[in-house]
Every structure is written in C-alpha cells, then in structure tokens.
C-alpha cells in the first residue's frame, strides 16, 4: 500500500474535527447528497484493546506533550470586555455530539451571538456557487480522469465502493481524489442520519442561534476552505484515496473511538490513538509528506487566519465561538494564539 494506513487514520480524524468544508461535504445537500447508506453497524471503541496492548499509554504520552490538549470549552476575556467562549466541535450528527455539556450549553444560551467556521455552509445556494465558481479546486485538469491517474487495480477495488454509495464512476470520474475520498469516509450510521435530515453539530448550533435571535458570523468563506483542502498535489491525493479503501470496513469503530475521546475532552489524544489502530505500511517518507502538507494547509494556516479574524469580534464581547476541536490545541492552536495576542484564555469545562 503506497501510504501508511495509520497516517490516513489520523487524517480521517482531522477531517471530522477540523475542516468546515468537510462538514459541508458531509451534510450540505447543495454540495452532494449523503452517500447511500449500507447496513448501519454501531461501532466499538478500540480504546480497551489499545490499553491492553500498551499502545494507548504510548499515545497518551504523545498527547501529553501537546499544549491545551484537553478540553472543549475555553473562556476568553480581557479587561473591559465581556467574556466570550470558544467550543471545539466534531462535525457529526451523532446525538451524543449534538448534546452540549452543561457548561457549554449555559455559555451558548447567554451569548449575544455565534461565530462558526463558515456561514456559507448554512446556505445551499452559496455552497453551490462556491463550487461552480472554482471548478479548478474540485475537478481534475482537462484531459485527466480518475482512470488516468489511479492505478487500474486500485480503480477495480474502488468501483464497487462508488456504486454502493450511489456514486457511479461516470458521474465522478473528473473529480479530484480528495473530494471523492471525503465521500467514502462517511460511516454508514452517519450517512443514515443525514439521509433522515440530521444536522452536524456546527449547523445545528447555527440553527439554534437563529431561532433564538442570535446573529451568526463566519471566519472563512467556502472558497477559502476549498483552497485549503485542494492544496495537496494530485499524486498525494491519489495515495490518500487508495488508502481510504482500507478504512471503509473499520469506519464504525474509528468513528466510535474518536467520539469517545471527544466526549471525554481528550482532544490531543485523538490523533495518536487513531494512528495506533492500524499497522504501518511501506512508504513512511511519503506518508509523512502527506501529513505535513495537510497539517500546514488545513490546520496551521487556517488557525492563523481564524485567530486574526476572530479577535475584532471578541473585542465586542459575549460571543460563543464554535470551531473544529482540533483547532484548539497545539502551539498554533487558537488557545495559544489568542494568549499570545494578549487575551486571557482558561479552560471553562
């Protein structure tokens, strides 16, 4: 296998907690119908097995080195300004995820407004316009198709998965591999909920805010998020798509493991724990390149943009900010970035 599967697991976890566009790809009907659900199997957390093997302890040591690696809710304040709160979300419609902890629910209820990654995801027409206005970000260059860039034997393996999800090759052959891979990463139970009209957490919060008269603002445009996700070179996108095949049967367990860690506020543990779920492949250097490029484009650069755009909003005070949870930890995360800018940021859950 050309890409280390464990690194792909880590990137899969990022897609669920980070990119707002991934949220839209999984939930917004203007972008794509939810993949046709197959049998919905409830997942089993891998944490007990990882604990027995000793891999969980190793992952915990790695996570302990990440600044602000625990917690979903943080209080942001400065003298003379009403405090605001930032809450890390998971882009799923799982009822457990949709239920805010009491501290977060209270902060949301009292807030004067809501800030999310992008308000474009709330309007199917805006999302459709973003896709149509920049086809270079989602479609392959002229003359190229999935058949011309993906090895034949891997296309043979991919074809049945496309058909199961009502994604006939004729309809998707000119799409970039990153876009196609995102569709394959929807677990059956999530697809089933979306078909029933369920909303992922970020969109559910926006709907709740509007119902209560709170204004909703965004930090990015859909086009900016498309640009971040499409930044990976095509050859690495192909590796990423092929590696997705090896995840499909384990998606329910992967989702359950990530959800358990998320609900227990162990955010920095998500990546090393999911990485430990799979053995290494043969090309470590290429895997590292994929991960580094993804981190730089989708995590670090976007963290800087979010922090810069968020601060003038925070100066008004009293806001509830909801962004993917993996935007919070780390040296480039929002918590440390806001502290460096002079804000007092403390864990509030």
Domain boundaries, the chain: 5-123+141-221+232-347
CB 308 within 8 A of CB 103: no
Residue 324 makes CB contacts below 8 A (sequence gap 6+) with 17, 18, 19, 20, 23, 88, 89, 90, 91, 117
* Distance, CA of 6 to CA of 122 (rounded, Å): 33
Question: Is pTM beyond 0.85 here?
Answer: yes
CB 98 within 8 A of CB 201: yes
CB 296 within 8 A of CB 290: no
Question: Where would I find the beta strands (DSSP E) of 230-328?
Answer: 319-324
Residue 76 makes CB contacts below 8 A (sequence gap 6+) with 83, 84, 85, 86, 314, 321, 338, 343, 344, 345
Q: Give residue 226's pLDDT.
A: 84
CB 16 within 8 A of CB 267: no
Backbone angles phi, psi at 281, to 5 degrees: -95, -145
- Which residues are bridge partners to 234 per DSSP? none
Pairing state of beta strands 81-89 and 73-78?
Answer: antiparallel
Half-sphere exposure of 346 (CA within 13 A, CB side): 5
User: How many CB atoms are closer than 10 A to CB 298?
Assistant: 25
> How is residue 230 written in tokens?
């499409």
Q: How many helices (H) and strands (E) does the chain have?
A: 20, 6
User: Tens-digit pLDDT profile for the chain (349 aa)?
Assistant: 333 444 445 555 554 554 433 333 322 322 334 555 566 878 899 999 999 999 999 999 999 999 999 999 999 999 999 999 999 999 889 999 999 999 999 999 999 999 999 999 888 888 888 888 899 988 999 999 999 999 999 999 999 988 888 888 999 999 999 888 888 888 888 888 888 888 889 999 999 999 999 999 999 998 888 888 788 888 888 887 888 887 788 888 888 999 999 999 999 998 888 877 754 333 566 666 666 777 777 788 899 999 999 999 999 999 999 999 989 999 999 999 999 999 999 999 8
Half-sphere exposure of 287 (CA within 13 A, CB side): 20
Closest to 320 in 3D by CA, of 94, 133, 110, 85: 85
Write the DSSP assignment of 15-28 as a string of letters. HHHS-HHHHHHHH-
Q: Is 144 helix (H, G, I), strand (E, B) or coil?
A: coil
Q: Give residue 38's pLDDT.
A: 61
CB 282 within 8 A of CB 1: yes
Closest to 25 in 3D by CA, of 127, 159, 119: 127
Residue 224 makes CB contacts below 8 A (sequence gap 6+) with 118, 305
Q: Give residue 308's pLDDT.
A: 96
Q: Count of residues for the chain?
A: 349
């Amino acid at each position: 296998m050309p890409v280390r599967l464990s690194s792909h697991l880590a990137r899969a976890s990022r897609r669920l907690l980070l990119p707002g566009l991934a949220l839209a790809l999984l939930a917004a009907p203007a972008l794509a119908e939810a993949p046709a659900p197959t049998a919905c199997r409830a997942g089993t957390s891998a944490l007990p097995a990882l604990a027995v093997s000793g891999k969980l302890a190793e992952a915990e040591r790695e996570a302990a080195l990440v600044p602000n690696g625990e917690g979903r809710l943080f209080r942001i304040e400065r003298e003379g300004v009403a405090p605001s709160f930032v809450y890390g979300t998971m882009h799923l419609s799982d009822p457990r995820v949709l239920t805010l902890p009491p501290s977060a629910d209270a902060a949301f209820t009292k807030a004067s407004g809501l800030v999310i990654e992008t308000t474009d995801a709330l309007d199917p027409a805006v999302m459709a316009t973003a896709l149509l206005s920049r086809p270079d970000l989602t479609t392959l260059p002229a003359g190229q198709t999935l058949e011309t860039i993906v090895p034949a034997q891997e296309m043979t393996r991919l074809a049945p998965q496309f058909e199961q999800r009502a994604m006939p090759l004729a309809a998707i052959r000119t799409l970039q591999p990153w876009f196609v891979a995102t569709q394959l990463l929807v677990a059956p139970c999530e697809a089933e909920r979306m078909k029933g009209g369920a909303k992922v957490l970020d969109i559910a919060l926006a709907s709740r805010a509007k119902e209560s008269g709170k204004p909703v603002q965004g930090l990015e445009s859909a086009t900016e998020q498309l640009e971040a996700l499409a930044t990976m070179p095509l050859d690495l996108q192909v590796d990423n798509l092929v590696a997705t095949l090896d995840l499909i049967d384990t998606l329910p367990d992967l989702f359950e493991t990530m959800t358990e860690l998320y609900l227990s506020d162990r955010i920095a543990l998500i990546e090393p724990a999911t990485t430990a779920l799979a053995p290494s492949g043969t090309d470590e250097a290429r895997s590292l390149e994929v991960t580094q490029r993804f981190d730089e484009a989708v995590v670090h650069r976007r963290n800087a943009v979010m922090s810069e755009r968020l601060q003038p909003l925070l100066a008004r005070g009293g806001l509830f900010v909801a962004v993917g949870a993996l935007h919070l930890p780390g040296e480039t995360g929002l918590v440390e970035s806001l502290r460096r800018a002079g804000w007092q940021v403390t864990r509030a859950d």
